[in-house]
A = this chain, B = another copy of it.
Amino acid sequence: MTPPPDFAAIEEAHRRIRPFVRRTPVLRAASLDQASDAHLHFKCENFQRSGSFKARGAFNATLAAPDGTAGFVTHSSGNHAAALALAARTRGLPAHVVMPRTASAAKKSAARAFGAHIIECEPTLAAREAEAARVAADTGATLVPPYDSTEVVAGQGTCALELVEDAGVPLDTLLVPVGGGGLLAGTLIAMASASPGTRVIGVEPAAADDAARGLQSGERQPQVLPVTTVADGATTALSEMTFGVMSWLVHDIVCVSEDAIVQAMRLIWERLKIVVEPTCALPLAAVLEARVDVRGQQVGLILTGGNVDLDRLPWLN
């Protein structure tokens, strides 16, 4: 099993990546506080470089790699690919991204805009992993998985450190979207030391509830297929490592409906005046659907990214 980072590794990641990532703002909205009867603190990783929190883990992994590294390779088709491309370019090294040939043109061109070298493959996880391994062998590139990586999880944990510092008050609850579990695992390890009094709760779509069922059963669950949720960043299964950290440290995993995700996304756009992707809306959806009781509490919500297709907004369907 890939070892999880400890708190010192997250602090080290923060020092390492600080010159290269943004300290994203924490925004508030009086009308959302009223609607939820709570004090909501939104950590806005939609303003992060490459458009999502994934820049944190990607920069930590590339900056931690030794001199003489030949480049980097991954097989994510989403935000991690763009983040790794940006981080690799910053070190002057190539990034190879294996994408299913069915990936959208928008995703390919986003990664290409940051300098990625795109390799297409069949749209199965096995084909992607095999192709990534082949590229690593052929080019000497270092594999940087999207979440099953000590360095990546350490980088993702830095987001919570900043939120704890910038919220200005102790947080009673922190709500985090769950996909592959990299952000959740990093956040859990960070909060256990930086703010042990905060309940950390993962949120996932009811239509992709593998983490919740895994927590209940004690057995890691496979990805829910076919993918039907609009929160496309929250559909991945956890890795052995992220599942282990979750089982050990998380307060709870709650699930939200598709309607609540769309409504919460729209509310964030309307009230905070920011562009966020559907996965960002999971924490606010949990508050609005009362999947977690936060009445009167100070609540942190991590908004994961802002890479959304402006031609296809979910409330316009």
By beta carbon, the residue of chain B nearest A277 is B273
Residue in B46, B51, B306, B315 whose beta carbon sits within 8 Å of that of A310 in the complex: B315
A315 partner residues in chain B, CB cutoff 8 A: 310-311
| 7 contacts across the A-B interface (CB closer than 8 A) | A270-B275, A270-B310, A274-B275, A310-B313, A310-B315, A313-B313, A316-B316
Interface size class of A (residues with CB under 8 A): 10 to 19
Q: How many copies does the complex hold?
A: 2
In the bound complex, residues from chain B placing their C-beta under 8 Å from that of A275 are 269-270, 273-275
With A273-B47, A273-B51, A275-B274 as contacts: A266 and B316 at CB distance below 8 Å:
no
| Shortest Cβ distance from A270 into B: residue | B310
The 8 closest A-B pairs by CB, nearest first: A273-B306, A273-B275, A46-B273, A269-B275, A274-B274, A47-B273, A269-B310, A273-B274
| A214, CB-defined interface residue at 8 Å | no
Measured CA separation A266–B311 after assembly (Å): 10
A136: shortest Cβ distance to chain B, in Å?
A: 30
> How far is A310 from B271 in the complex, measured between Cα atoms in Å?
12
A164 vs chain B, min Cβ distance (A) = 21
* Residues in B neighbouring A276, C-beta threshold 8 A: 273
| CB interface residues, A 1-52, toward B, < 8 Å | 25, 46-47, 51
Q: CA separation between A181 and B264, bound complex, in Å?
A: 36
Most chain-B Cβ atoms within 10 A of its Cβ — which of A51, A273, A275, A310? A273
CB–CB B306/A311 < 8 A: no
Residues on B with C-beta less than 8 A from A316 are: 311, 316
On chain B, the residues within 8 Å of A270 by CB distance are: 275, 310
* Across-interface contacts of A274 in B (CB, < 8 A): 273-275
- A51 to B271, alpha carbons, bound, how many Å? 8
Most buried by B among A25, A266, A310, A311: A310
- State A315–B316 Cα separation when bound (angstroms): 13
Q: Which residues of B contact A269 (CB under 8 A)?
A: 275, 310
Least CB distance from A225 to B in Å reads 30
